[in-house]
Structure 1
Amino acid sequence: MTQVIRTSAELREKVAAWKRSGMLVGVVPTMGALHDGHLSLARAAREQSDRVIVTIFVNPMQFNNPDDLTKYPRDEAHDLALLEAEGVDVLFAPGVDEVYPDGFATTVSVSGVSEPLEGAFRPGHFDGVATVVAKLFGMTQAGRAFFGEKDWQQLQVVRRLVEDLNIPIRIIGCPTIREADGLAMSSRNVRLSAAERAQAPALHQIMQAAAAEIRDGAPVGETLMNAQAAILEAGFSAVEYLELRSVEGLRPMANLSEPARMLVAAQLGDVRLIDNIAV
């Protein structure tokens, strides 16, 4: 049975006992509303660790839109049932006061990889991510952490954070899990209407077509411009960005001179969807 722990003191005691027995601890940080993408991370953690902690904390620091924070789906009982079925050892679900107690005054900021894309459209978002991730690593004392590649930029921010601050944890990126029609799994997908859900897979389909064209030698700028127009024609109300960036460092790329990712953020109804693929 999955044990629910809500304080860092109790969690540290549990983890210390595991470590005294020579066990490797894996952690999967989440904001809850779990889907098979999250569960795939728990499975990876189970395969590569002796004990698994999944954290659920809807982090107010990483929401630049208060309405998005309010609407973020929450269902801890359902999440716990899913984690128990996966054999997760501990659900760490601290309250806001446990993570950010009175007097909390420290923010972690990762420059460089955090600045373009999501960083440009969601000011302060990655400061919130970096701060809470650093705290969760300290609270869980895990040796490995598992993150989905769907949030590619977040993964790079976390890797930079760990390297720069000498945090003794190994960051493991896991493949994006998609619905049968290609839509990347996301907790926000439940907010799509039936009509919007039918339109949503076009995002991935258009990206795949554009990536194939670029691999075949088509000009990057023109191809991305045409793909953006196609996304709007598919029913999306806005495309915040659709860019080709280097895998390492997220530098803008005008051609395939090194390994690249295509990253997108687009608005469908009142839901903001992000995705990325290798090119």
Structure 2
Amino acid sequence: MSPGGTGVTLEQVKTGVDGLDILLSGGFVKGSTILISGSYGSGKTLLALQYAFYQAQRGDKVLYVSTSEPVFKIRQFAGNLAFFDESLVRTGYSGIAGKKDRNHAGFVEFVESSMGIVTGIYFNDVSSLMEEIRDMVNSKGIQHLIIDPITTISMLYDSEADLRKDLLLMSAWLTRMGCTVLLTAEASDQKLLDVEKYLADCVIDLRSHMESDERRFSICIEKLRGNRQLMCSQQYLPGSDGIKMLTREQAVSE
């Protein structure tokens, strides 16, 4: 049942991160847009990759658009992670063959859309990039889209209104397709985050600080439409096995 008592049952998507689904009261709402914000080194890409491979292992199709790193660097990083599975990986650039690709088993397809590509090699403008992403989602039957980070694309907009309009249109279209969307963003760009937090259905904030000469990490669910979240933060550890949520006892002993 929905929290408001409307009688509508919302389908949920497990994240693959032990403990995070508890904070989310079961997981993300299918077809929603999730914003993962955090400072450099807080584990945004790690969480996105962990989510991507978990969904692919379940048989779902994931499109991972890297906007700031070339594909080989993302794969190099992912290859050292415990959950990485080479058999689930596809790589390529934007531009899709005409035939549909809906019958294959789960996969993670990495697409490189770095700044150089976005600004001239493959795309004339940001709108054409958005259109290309929509075409890829449609032609491949993508169920999960990850843009890491959205910050890079957003930087190319002169107008906040145009950014908000394009993100809203793309989000609405993807929702109708039943595609769940993860966006990562740097916490330092507050103006950009104000736009993205407004549009997102779920906002996850990854925080870190120094304590007794050690770096501590905590995760907070700031916003969650369509479900109840636990209104608290929880400590976690980023590592080669992904994001690991800590119990209160573990957090004290770390």
Please classify the TM superposition score into its range, dividing by the shorter chain length. Answer: 0.3 to 0.5
- Larger proportion of strand: 2
TM, length-normalised to structure 1? 0.30
- Larger proportion of helix: 1
TM, length-normalised to structure 2? 0.33
